[in-house]
Amino acid sequence: MADLEIRELRYFVALAEELSFSRAAGRLGMAQPPLSKAVQGMERKLGVILLRRSTRRVELTDAGRVLLDQARHVLDAAAAASARTRRAGLPQPRLVVAVKPGGDAGLLADVLARYHREPGHPPARVTVGGWGEQAAELREGAADVALLRDLPDHAGLDHEVLATQPRGVLLPRGHRLAGRGTLRRADLAGEPVPVWPPAGPRHALFRAALDHLPGAAAPEGPEVGDFQQLLEVVALGQGVAFVPLASAALHPRADLVCVPVVDISPSTVVVAWAQTSRSPSVAAFVRAATDAAADISGRHGS
Amino acid sequence: MADLEIRELRYFVALAEELSFSRAAGRLGMAQPPLSKAVQGMERKLGVILLRRSTRRVELTDAGRVLLDQARHVLDAAAAASARTRRAGLPQPRLVVAVKPGGDAGLLADVLARYHREPGHPPARVTVGGWGEQAAELREGAADVALLRDLPDHAGLDHEVLATQPRGVLLPRGHRLAGRGTLRRADLAGEPVPVWPPAGPRHALFRAALDHLPGAAAPEGPEVGDFQQLLEVVALGQGVAFVPLASAALHPRADLVCVPVVDISPSTVVVAWAQTSRSPSVAAFVRAATDAAADISGRHGS
DNA sequence: GGCCAGTGATATCCACCGGGTATTTATATC
DNA sequence: GATATAAATACCCGGTGGATATCACTGGCC
C-alpha cells in the first residue's frame, strides 16, 4: 500500500483542474509525457482509475473526484506543516492573529490585553486581511487564530461564537421600503441580491441573503468584489444587501439607509482556529477572547 | 519554498518517536546514514533546526515538536486520501458506518432505514469497532461516518449530538453508597477511578470522571483495557465508574448496582464524520440520524 | 584520567526513477 | 477519408535516495 507523494498529489490537482495533460504539464513547468506516467503510477498504486481519457477529452471518474477533494486537504496540511514549523523556529516566535477591519466587534484590544496578561505565551502579532483570506491563512498555517464575522463553512476550522449582532438591509434612500422602521424578510421578496464575491466560495452575507429571502424569489444582482462596490451597487438601486447594523453604522453614507430586518438570523463574531493547530497559546487566546466577550455582554446586560 | 515529501514526514515522525537515528532507521527498514541526510535536508529546506543532537542524546526543538504534530496530521490526511479514493473506486462503493455495540442508543436501524429511503446514495455497510477505533477509522478514511458515545476531543472530526443520557455510578453491591437512591458527586470524593485505557487518549468516561469529581480528590485506580475489565475492577471494590444508565442496564450483574448521579453532565450519543470528507452521502446519513433522533425524542416527549 | 562502547556525521558509490525529447496512436472535425 | 490535436509509448540521461564503510564525538567505567 505505497502511499502517494506530495508531488504526485500536486500533479493530480493541476490535471484535474485543467482537464488536459498538456495544459497541466505546462502549468507545472514540466513536459506532458512524465505527467502521463506519474498519473499512471498513481492509478497503479491505488488500483483505481482516476481519469477517463481519450485523445480528445479527459474527465474525472468518481474516484478521481474524491481524490481531488482529498488531495487539496493533504496539500493544505503539508503547506501548513511547513509554514507552522518555520514560524515556530524563528528566533522570536509570534502568535499570529488575523483580523478583518471592523470584524472584531471592538474586542481586539481587550482580547490582546487579556492574552498578554497570562505569562508564558509568545507575543501576539496582528495581521489584517480581507474576508476569505483569513480562513485560508488559518488553514495554510500563516496565522494561528482569527477574529472574523460569519465564519465560512469551510472544513478544517474550529470556532467559538463571541457575539451576535442583528442584521439589517441596506437600501438606497429613495427606495420604496426606505422609510419603514423595521422590515420582515417577506417584504424583500423580488429584490435583486448582488453576487459577492463573483468567484469561489460566496461571502457569508451573500449566502445569508439567499437563505433568508423566500424561495427563489431573490434574483441574482450584479457581481461585486468588495464591500465598497457593494455599497455602490446598492446606492445605484441595483440590489440590496444584508449587513450587520453595527457594520452599517461604521460606513454612514448620505445616500443609503439601513433598516433592521427582524426575522433573519443575526451575524456572528467568532474566534476561529485551524483544527490541526490547537497549541496552548491558541487555547489561551481563545480563552481570552471568550472571557472578553462574556465581560462585554455582561456589562451590556447589567 | 520546496515543501516536504510524505516520505520525509514519515521519517521524521519515526525519528521523533524513537529519539534515536539508529532505532528509527531500523523501524523504517533502512540504514542510519540516509536518515541523517534526509533530516538534514528537511532542516535545510525549512531553514529550521528540528532536533538538538549530540552523539549520546537526541531531543526535539520547539520547531521539531510543532512539526511532529503537523506531520501526523499530514500523514493521516494522506492515508485517508488513499483509502477514500480506493473505496470510491470499488465496483460498488459503500457508505461505511462505524458503530460501537450499544453506542447507537437503539437508533441504528431507524437511521439506516431513513438513509436508504432517500434514493441516489450508495448502500451502507456497518462495521463494529471498539471505542477509539472509530475516531481513527474516520480520520484515516476507513469509515465515512460513525455513531458513537462521548466523542473524543481529537481534532478533525465534526459531529452532531443525537441524544443525551443521564449518567450514574457503578458500585459493588456491598458499597457504603450502594443503597442510596441517587447521589451527588460530592458523595464520591476519594473513590478511586480506574484508568482507562492505560495508554493513549483516555476514554471519555474516564475523563468525565476526573472532570466531575471534586478537585484532585479522585485517586487513580488500577488500569483497565476494556469495559468488561472495568466491571471486574468495580466488582472487586477497586474503583468506581461513571456510566450511562442505559448502558449499565444492558449489562446487568448481580454483584453491581448503578446509582444515578444527579449533578454530572450527561453522556452524549453523536453522529460523527471527518471534517475532510463531507460528501452528499455523509450529509444524507447525518440528516437521517438527526431526523431519527428528533423523532425518538419527540415520541418520548409526547 | 584514559579506554571503550555506542551513536551520529561524513565519504563514496550504485541503482532507480523522475523528467526530457522523439515518435506513435487514436479520435474528433471537416 | 485526410488532417490536426492530444495522450500514450519508447528511449535516454542526470539527480538523488539509499547502502556500505569509516570517522568523530560523547559518556560511562574501571
Q: Which residue of B has its CA nearest to A44?
A: B86
Domain encompassing residue B197? 167-260
**pLDDT value for B202:** 64
Give the per-residue SS3 of chain A.
Answer: CCCCCHHHHHHHHHHHHHCCHHHHHHHHCCCHHHHHHHHHHHHHHHCCCCEEECCCCEEECHHHHHHHHHHHHHHHHHHHHHHHHHHHHCCCCCEEEEECCCCCCCCHHHHHHHHHHCCCCCCEEEEECCCCHHHHHHHHCCCCEEEEECCCCCCCEEEEEEEEECEEEEEECCCCCCCCCCECHHHHCCCCEEECCCCCCCCHHHHHHHHHCCCCCCCEEEECCCHHHHHHHHHCCCCCEEEEHHHHHHCCCCCEEEEEECCCCCEEEEEEEECCCCCHHHHHHHHHHHHHHHHHHHHHHC
Instruction: Identify whether B226 is part of a domain.
Output: yes
Specify whether A81 is located in the same domain as A96.
no
CA dihedral sign of residues A67, A68, A73, A76: positive
Residue B24 sits in the same domain as residue B79: yes
> Are B128 and B203 in the same domain?
no
Q: Do B190 and B240 sit in the same domain of this protein?
A: yes
pLDDT of B125 > 90? The answer is yes
Average pLDDT over residues A119-134: 85
Q: Judge whether A281 is closer than 8 Å to chain B, CB to CB.
A: no
List bases, strand C, within 7 Å of protein CB. 6-12, 18-22, 25-28
What confidence score (pLDDT) does residue A211 get? 64
Q: Are residues A173 and A256 in the same domain?
A: yes
Residue B52 in domain: yes
Give yes or no for residue A302 having a pLDDT over 60: no
Kindly state whether residues A182 and A226 are assigned to the same domain: yes
For A50-55, what is the mean pLDDT?
87
**Is the predicted pLDDT of residue A131 greater than 70, yes or no?**
no
Q: Which of A143, A150, A92, A86 is nearest to A121 (CA)?
A: A92
Last residue of one domain, picked from the residues B25, B53, B85: B85
Of A106-120, A197-211, B107-121, minimum mean pLDDT range? A197-211
> Among all residues of chain A, which has the CA nearest to that of B88?
A63
Nucleotide nearest to A31 (CA to C1'): C20
Residues B156-184: what's their mean pLDDT?
Answer: 83
A27 within domain boundaries? yes
Selected residues 95-154 of chain A with any CB under 8 Å from a CB in chain B: 141
Phi first, then psi: what are they for B149, rounded to 5°?
-110, 135
CATH of the domain at A64: 1.10.10.10
Return the residue of B nearest to A48 by Cα: B89
A47 in contact with chain B, both atoms CB, cutoff 8 A: yes
Say yes or no: Cβ of B26 under 7 A from any atom of strand D: no
> Are A3 and A42 spatial neighbours (Cβ–Cβ below 8 Å)?
no
CB-nearest to A276 from B141, B155, B158 is: B155
- Whether A220 has its CB under 8 Å from any CB of chain B: the answer is no
Any domain includes A60:
yes
A242 belongs to a structural domain? yes
- Closest protein residue to C11 (Cα–C1'): B33
Quick one: B18 and B100 in the same domain? no
Instruction: Verify that B236 and B279 share a domain, yes or no.
Output: no
The answer to whether residues A256 and A138 belong to one domain is no
Position B91 scores a pLDDT of 85
The whole-number average pLDDT for the span A245-254 is 75
Number of cross-chain residue pairs from A and B with Cβ atoms under 8 Å apart: 134
More confident: B11 or A128: B11
Question: Based on the domain organization, do A277 and A156 belong to the same domain?
Answer: yes
Q: Evaluate if the CB of B27 falls below 7 Å from strand C.
A: no
* Higher-confidence position of A35 and B232: A35
Residue B1 lies in a domain: no
Quick one: how far is CA A97 from the chain centroid? 15
Asked whether residue B238 is assigned to any structural domain, the reply reads yes
Co-location of A98 and A246 in the same domain = no
Is A1 within the bounds of a domain? no
Asked if strand D contacts A22 at the CB level, meaning under 7 A, the answer is yes
Residues B153 and B273 in one domain: yes
CATH of residue B212's domain is: 3.40.190.10
A159-171 confidence digits (pLDDT tens): 899 988 888 888 8
Return positions of chain D under 7 A from a protein CB.
5-11, 17-21, 24-27
Q: Is the dihedral of CA A27, A29, A31, A34 positive or negative?
A: negative
Range among A134-138, A208-212, B13-17, B162-166 rated most confident: B13-17
Q: Which segment of A35-44, A115-124, B107-116, B255-264 scores lowest on mean pLDDT?
A: B255-264
Q: Do B3 and A6 touch (CB under 8 A)?
A: yes
Number of structural domains chain B divides into: 3
Q: Please say if the pLDDT value at position B263 is more than 70.
A: yes
Q: What pLDDT was estimated at residue A164? A: 86
* Range in A6-15, A228-237, A268-277, B48-57 the model is least confident about: A228-237
pLDDT surpassing 60 at residue A269: yes
